[in-house]
Amino acid sequence: MGGSIMSLRDQLRAAAPLASKEVELSNGKIRVYELDAKGRALVLDYLNQVIKLQNSGEIKSNHYAILTLSIVCHGLRDAETLKPEFEISNQTDRDELMSLGDTNLMIMHDAICELSGLEHLTTENRNKDAAEKK
């Protein structure tokens, strides 16, 4: 095979780049990316678990925090490799993200949700849903 022939993986990456946008945090700008298929599947699976916990009355605030962190972890990527910079399963990564503060986390979370077609998970829409249920 010649060196100029792109591998199927490279062709797929070139054909379907992840959408991204820069967001303004309290201490500077950062680029966030839409969820890839794996990230979307994991987030939606966890969201289903959260909904079951809500319905059974067993939900705790840390479940919401993990959902938010999952979305942020999958939306923060290395600009060159597009590999996630943080792993939700890594306590150090979670602590580092939590140290950014709620406001910064929610800015990134909402931007990633919007890029990924998950607008119903944004802070504004969640608050609207909660108000409608009262």
Residue spans per domain, the chain? 20-133
Q: Tell me what the mean pLDDT of segment 20-41 comes to.
A: 95
- Number of CB atoms found within 10 A of residue 70's CB: 20
Q: What is the pLDDT of residue 1?
A: 44
Q: What does the pLDDT read at residue 123?
A: 78
Q: How confident is the model at residue 89 (pLDDT cuts 50, 70, 90)?
A: very high
pLDDT at 130: 58
pLDDT at residue 24, rounded to an integer: 97
Angstrom distance (rounded) from CA 21 to CA 11: 23
Q: Which distant-in-sequence residues (6+ apart) come within 8 Å of 47 by Cβ? A: 67, 121
Contacts of 26 (CB under 8 A, 6+ apart): 101, 103, 104
> What is the mean predicted confidence (pLDDT) over 109-127?
88
What beta strand segments (E) does the chain contain?
20-25, 28-33
Q: Provide the angle, in degrees to the nearest 10, between the axes of the packed helices 102-115 and 123-133.
A: 90
Query: In terms of C-beta density within 10 A (0-12 exposed, 13-18 middle, 19 or more buried), how is residue 91 classed?
Result: exposed
Q: Is 76 helix (H, G, I), strand (E, B) or coil?
A: coil
pLDDT mean over 15-40: 92
Helix/strand/coil for 37: helix
- The residues near 69 (Cβ < 8 Å, ≥ 6 apart) are 88, 94, 97, 98, 105
